[in-house]
Amino acid sequence: MATTTLNSVTKIPKMELSSSSGPVSMPVIGFGTAANNNDGATLISAVLESIELGYRHFDTASAYESEQALGEAIAEALRLGLVPSRDHLFITTKLWPSEAHAHLVLPSLQKSLRTLQLEYLDLYLIHWPITVIPGKREFPFDKQDLMPMDFKSVWAAMEECQRLGFTKSIGVEMNPVWQQKLTEFCKANGIIVTLSPLWEPKGVVGGHQRCYGQ
């Protein structure tokens, strides 16, 4: 691991997300943990190195199978004093389409929290605005796996997670709505749009409270 000092840590700018629980400050650059090779030891080392370099925003998902390693890295960073407390980090994870059923939203979030060894998230995203049959983890999905999504009840369950204090913010990622039209809607309604151009490193992904990822 490279040696860094406090003075060499990069200060990443932040933006403010609106939230029913109060403003939430989010670093505009995050460290993604999706990878084809789920090597926990490598991820832990990478997260610790990134924290030393100034990263505070970490993005994961139940589908990435990286929540456990990220949680272990966070615990180690706190033990080493790389960050003063959990509150100095911004952690995002996501609801997989097979769990995008109203009765599965809260249990899915609670499972992610246990895996991450955290008491709360800073941001919880609907990974895709689609629903598939419960238990379907493999991707891509087959047509017969798709189910009608009850957007209203799923979103209400997301709001309940926020109300209970398990996540500070909620949002939707991978929204298929035509980009320009959706961007204009977000701008008109004061909704912040985020983007990660270097995902895995092919493709793009992102998201945050009350908006979409691309």
What's the CATH code of the domain at 169? 3.20.20.100
Residue 208 lies in a domain: no
Residue 133 lies in a domain: yes
Residue 161 lies in a domain: yes
How far is 64 from 37, CA to CA, in rounded Å?
10
> Can you give the pLDDT at residue 182?
76
Q: Which range marks the domain in which residue 151 is found? A: 6-188
Whether 209 and 202 have beta carbons less than 8 Å apart is answered as no
Catalytic site residue from 55, 64, 124, 212: 64
Residue 70 lies in a domain: yes
Residue 64 annotated in active site: yes
Residue 211 lies in a domain: no
Work out how many domains the chain is built from and give that number: 1
| Residue 177 pLDDT level (bands cut at 50, 70, 90) | low
> Can you give the pLDDT at residue 210?
40
Residue 139 lies in a domain: yes
Residue 102 lies in a domain: yes
Question: What's the chain's average pLDDT?
Answer: 85
Residue 199 lies in a domain: no
Give the pTM.
0.81
